[in-house]
Chains A and B, each alone.
Chain A
Amino acid sequence: DAGITQSPRHKVTETGTPVTLRCHQTENHRYMYWYRQDPGHGLRLIHYSYGVKDTDKGEVSDGYSVSRSKTEDFLLTLESATSSQTSVYFCAISPRFNQPQHFGDGTRLSIL
Protein backbone atom coordinates (compact mmCIF):
# COMPACT_ATOMS: atom_id res chain seq x y z
CA ASP A 1 0.00 0.00 0.00
CA ALA A 2 1.11 3.51 -0.77
CA GLY A 3 2.25 5.30 2.37
CA ILE A 4 -0.53 7.81 2.84
CA THR A 5 -1.90 8.84 6.21
CA GLN A 6 -4.85 11.13 6.66
CA SER A 7 -5.60 12.78 9.99
CA PRO A 8 -7.90 12.99 11.74
CA ARG A 9 -9.95 10.03 10.50
CA HIS A 10 -13.14 11.44 12.01
CA LYS A 11 -14.08 14.93 13.13
CA VAL A 12 -17.25 16.61 14.30
CA THR A 13 -17.26 20.37 14.55
CA GLU A 14 -19.60 23.34 14.53
CA THR A 15 -20.51 25.75 11.78
CA GLY A 16 -18.15 28.71 11.58
CA THR A 17 -15.12 27.01 13.10
CA PRO A 18 -11.86 26.55 11.18
CA VAL A 19 -10.84 23.00 10.33
CA THR A 20 -7.56 21.63 8.99
CA LEU A 21 -7.14 18.17 7.53
CA ARG A 22 -3.72 16.69 7.03
CA CYS A 23 -2.39 14.35 4.38
CA HIS A 24 1.05 12.85 5.00
CA GLN A 25 2.92 10.68 2.49
CA THR A 26 6.12 8.69 2.76
CA GLU A 27 6.48 7.99 -1.00
CA ASN A 28 8.16 11.25 -1.98
CA HIS A 29 5.58 11.69 -4.75
CA ARG A 30 5.37 15.06 -6.45
CA TYR A 31 1.61 15.23 -7.01
CA MET A 32 -0.97 15.41 -4.24
CA TYR A 33 -4.73 15.90 -4.46
CA TRP A 34 -7.72 16.54 -2.19
CA TYR A 35 -11.14 15.14 -3.17
CA ARG A 36 -14.48 15.05 -1.45
CA GLN A 37 -16.99 12.24 -1.84
CA ASP A 38 -20.71 12.90 -1.63
CA PRO A 39 -23.67 10.67 -2.55
CA GLY A 40 -24.61 11.02 -6.20
CA HIS A 41 -21.41 12.88 -7.08
CA GLY A 42 -18.61 10.36 -6.88
CA LEU A 43 -15.34 12.08 -5.97
CA ARG A 44 -14.76 15.71 -6.85
CA LEU A 45 -11.43 17.48 -6.89
CA ILE A 46 -11.01 20.33 -4.40
CA HIS A 47 -7.36 21.37 -4.80
CA TYR A 48 -4.16 19.80 -6.01
CA SER A 49 -0.42 20.31 -5.76
CA TYR A 50 2.28 19.67 -8.34
CA GLY A 51 5.20 20.49 -6.10
CA VAL A 52 6.20 22.23 -2.88
CA LYS A 53 4.33 25.54 -2.69
CA ASP A 54 2.75 24.84 -6.11
CA THR A 55 -1.00 24.44 -5.75
CA ASP A 56 -4.10 25.13 -7.80
CA LYS A 57 -7.87 24.94 -7.62
CA GLY A 58 -10.02 22.02 -8.60
CA GLU A 59 -13.67 21.69 -9.45
CA VAL A 60 -15.12 22.53 -5.99
CA SER A 61 -12.56 24.82 -4.36
CA ASP A 62 -14.85 27.51 -2.90
CA GLY A 63 -14.49 27.67 0.89
CA TYR A 64 -11.25 25.66 0.92
CA SER A 65 -7.59 26.55 0.95
CA VAL A 66 -4.46 24.36 0.86
CA SER A 67 -0.82 24.56 1.70
CA ARG A 68 2.19 22.43 0.89
CA SER A 69 5.35 23.60 2.61
CA LYS A 70 7.16 20.27 2.22
CA THR A 71 6.89 17.30 -0.10
CA GLU A 72 5.30 14.96 2.40
CA ASP A 73 2.48 17.11 3.75
CA PHE A 74 -0.58 18.60 2.05
CA LEU A 75 -3.00 20.48 4.30
CA LEU A 76 -6.63 21.26 3.50
CA THR A 77 -8.23 24.10 5.48
CA LEU A 78 -11.85 25.07 5.80
CA GLU A 79 -11.58 28.67 6.99
CA SER A 80 -15.14 28.81 8.32
CA ALA A 81 -16.87 25.46 8.09
CA THR A 82 -20.42 25.22 6.76
CA SER A 83 -22.87 22.31 6.86
CA SER A 84 -22.49 21.87 3.09
CA GLN A 85 -18.88 20.85 3.72
CA THR A 86 -19.97 17.77 5.63
CA SER A 87 -18.40 15.03 3.55
CA VAL A 88 -15.74 12.35 3.34
CA TYR A 89 -12.41 13.82 2.27
CA PHE A 90 -9.77 11.80 0.45
CA CYS A 91 -6.16 12.61 -0.24
CA ALA A 92 -4.38 11.05 -3.21
CA ILE A 93 -0.79 10.99 -4.41
CA SER A 94 0.96 10.22 -7.67
CA PRO A 95 4.60 10.23 -8.81
CA ARG A 96 3.69 11.61 -12.24
CA PHE A 97 0.60 13.34 -13.62
CA ASN A 98 -0.10 10.50 -16.06
CA GLN A 99 0.12 7.64 -13.57
CA PRO A 100 -2.63 6.27 -11.33
CA GLN A 101 -3.33 8.09 -8.13
CA HIS A 102 -3.30 6.20 -4.84
CA PHE A 103 -5.67 7.20 -2.10
CA GLY A 104 -5.63 7.48 1.66
CA ASP A 105 -8.42 6.02 3.77
CA GLY A 106 -10.28 9.29 4.13
CA THR A 107 -11.47 11.72 6.80
CA ARG A 108 -15.14 11.76 7.71
CA LEU A 109 -16.03 15.35 8.59
CA SER A 110 -19.37 16.33 10.11
CA ILE A 111 -20.27 19.98 10.55
CA LEU A 112 -23.24 20.64 12.80
Chain B
Amino acid sequence: DQQVKQNSPSLSVQEGRISILNCDYTNSMFDYFLWYKKYPAEGPTFLISISSIKDKNEDGRFTVFLNKSAKHLSLHIVPSQPGDSAVYFCAASSDLAGGTSYGKLTFGQGTILTVHP
Protein backbone atom coordinates (compact mmCIF):
# COMPACT_ATOMS: atom_id res chain seq x y z
CA ASP B 1 0.00 0.00 0.00
CA GLN B 2 1.57 3.25 -1.18
CA GLN B 3 1.43 5.74 1.69
CA VAL B 4 2.66 8.67 -0.43
CA LYS B 5 1.25 9.11 -3.91
CA GLN B 6 2.00 11.43 -6.78
CA ASN B 7 -0.81 10.75 -9.16
CA SER B 8 0.52 12.76 -12.09
CA PRO B 9 3.42 10.95 -13.79
CA SER B 10 4.24 14.02 -15.85
CA LEU B 11 3.56 17.75 -16.17
CA SER B 12 4.37 20.09 -19.05
CA VAL B 13 4.55 23.85 -18.50
CA GLN B 14 5.58 26.89 -20.50
CA GLU B 15 8.55 28.93 -19.31
CA GLY B 16 7.50 31.78 -17.02
CA ARG B 17 4.24 30.13 -15.98
CA ILE B 18 3.47 28.40 -12.69
CA SER B 19 4.19 24.70 -12.15
CA ILE B 20 2.06 22.93 -9.54
CA LEU B 21 3.07 19.46 -8.43
CA ASN B 22 0.79 17.50 -6.15
CA CYS B 23 1.24 14.80 -3.53
CA ASP B 24 -1.22 12.88 -1.36
CA TYR B 25 -0.53 10.80 1.73
CA THR B 26 -2.53 8.35 3.79
CA ASN B 27 -0.53 7.97 7.01
CA SER B 28 -1.80 10.48 9.58
CA MET B 29 1.42 10.04 11.60
CA PHE B 30 3.46 11.84 8.95
CA ASP B 31 4.46 15.25 10.27
CA TYR B 32 7.41 16.31 8.12
CA PHE B 33 7.28 16.64 4.35
CA LEU B 34 9.98 17.29 1.79
CA TRP B 35 10.37 17.86 -1.92
CA TYR B 36 13.37 16.64 -3.87
CA LYS B 37 14.42 17.32 -7.44
CA LYS B 38 16.31 14.73 -9.48
CA TYR B 39 18.22 15.09 -12.73
CA PRO B 40 19.20 12.00 -14.76
CA ALA B 41 22.30 10.17 -13.50
CA GLU B 42 22.37 12.27 -10.30
CA GLY B 43 21.07 11.79 -6.80
CA PRO B 44 17.97 13.59 -5.53
CA THR B 45 18.59 17.16 -4.37
CA PHE B 46 16.67 18.62 -1.44
CA LEU B 47 14.44 21.54 -2.42
CA ILE B 48 12.14 22.55 0.40
CA SER B 49 10.40 21.09 3.43
CA ILE B 50 7.44 21.79 5.68
CA SER B 51 6.44 20.59 9.11
CA SER B 52 2.89 19.77 10.07
CA ILE B 53 2.66 22.83 12.31
CA LYS B 54 2.73 25.04 9.22
CA ASP B 55 0.56 25.23 6.13
CA LYS B 56 2.98 27.11 3.89
CA ASN B 57 6.70 27.48 3.43
CA GLU B 58 8.47 29.63 0.84
CA ASP B 59 12.00 29.63 -0.51
CA GLY B 60 12.55 31.87 -3.49
CA ARG B 61 10.59 30.57 -6.46
CA PHE B 62 9.46 27.49 -4.53
CA THR B 63 6.47 27.33 -2.19
CA VAL B 64 5.10 24.24 -0.52
CA PHE B 65 1.52 24.14 0.76
CA LEU B 66 0.23 21.58 3.25
CA ASN B 67 -3.44 20.73 3.76
CA LYS B 68 -3.49 18.34 6.70
CA SER B 69 -7.24 17.74 6.67
CA ALA B 70 -7.03 16.61 3.05
CA LYS B 71 -3.66 14.90 3.55
CA HIS B 72 -2.39 16.79 0.54
CA LEU B 73 0.66 18.87 -0.24
CA SER B 74 1.69 20.77 -3.32
CA LEU B 75 4.82 22.41 -4.66
CA HIS B 76 4.46 25.66 -6.61
CA ILE B 77 7.29 26.89 -8.82
CA VAL B 78 6.91 30.47 -10.00
CA PRO B 79 8.14 31.41 -12.54
CA SER B 80 9.08 28.09 -14.09
CA GLN B 81 12.39 27.89 -15.93
CA PRO B 82 13.75 25.32 -18.40
CA GLY B 83 16.38 24.34 -15.83
CA ASP B 84 13.55 23.20 -13.55
CA SER B 85 12.89 20.28 -15.90
CA ALA B 86 13.53 17.21 -13.75
CA VAL B 87 11.78 14.50 -11.76
CA TYR B 88 10.23 15.78 -8.54
CA PHE B 89 9.67 13.53 -5.55
CA CYS B 90 7.68 14.27 -2.45
CA ALA B 91 8.62 12.45 0.73
CA ALA B 92 7.28 12.18 4.26
CA SER B 93 8.42 11.08 7.69
CA SER B 94 7.03 10.98 11.22
CA ASP B 95 9.83 12.31 13.37
CA LEU B 96 9.06 15.82 14.53
CA ALA B 97 7.31 14.58 17.62
CA GLY B 98 10.57 12.98 18.68
CA GLY B 99 9.52 9.51 17.71
CA THR B 100 11.82 6.66 16.88
CA SER B 101 11.45 6.41 13.13
CA TYR B 102 14.99 7.81 12.72
CA GLY B 103 14.20 10.04 9.77
CA LYS B 104 13.05 7.23 7.54
CA LEU B 105 11.50 8.74 4.43
CA THR B 106 8.59 7.39 2.42
CA PHE B 107 8.68 8.66 -1.16
CA GLY B 108 6.08 9.16 -3.84
CA GLN B 109 6.60 7.74 -7.33
CA GLY B 110 7.77 11.04 -8.78
CA THR B 111 6.46 13.51 -11.37
CA ILE B 112 8.44 14.40 -14.48
CA LEU B 113 8.29 18.17 -15.00
CA THR B 114 9.12 19.56 -18.42
CA VAL B 115 9.39 23.33 -18.83
CA HIS B 116 9.30 24.46 -22.45
CA PRO B 117 11.14 27.62 -23.54
Query: A: which residues have CB within 8 A of B?
Result: 4, 31, 33, 35, 40-45, 48, 50, 56, 58-59, 90, 92, 94, 96-106
Identity of the chain B residue whose Cβ is nearest the Cβ of A50 in the assembled complex: B102
A48 and B43 contact, CB distance less than 8 A: no
State the interface size on chain B (CB cutoff 8 A): 27
How many A-B pairs fall under 8 Å by CB? 65
Residues of B within 8 A of A103 (CB): 36, 43-45
CA separation between A102 and B93, bound complex, in Å?
Answer: 15
Residues of A within 8 A of B93 (CB): 98
B107 and A42 contact, CB distance less than 8 A: yes
Write out, one digit per residue, whether chain B residues 64-90 have a CB within 8 A of any chain A CB (1) or not (0): 000000000000000000000000010
Query: B: which residues have CB within 8 A of A?
Result: 4, 6, 32, 34, 36, 41-46, 49, 89, 91, 93, 95-96, 101-110
Interface majority SS on A: helix, strand, loop or mixed? strand
Q: Please list 27 pairs of residues, one from A and one from B, whose beta carbons are closer than 8 Å in the complex, sorted by A's number.
A: A4-B43, A33-B103, A33-B105, A42-B4, A42-B107, A42-B108, A42-B110, A43-B105, A44-B107, A48-B103, A56-B102, A58-B104, A90-B43, A90-B44, A92-B43, A96-B103, A97-B95, A97-B102, A97-B103, A98-B95, A98-B103, A99-B103, A100-B49, A101-B46, A101-B103, A102-B46, A103-B36
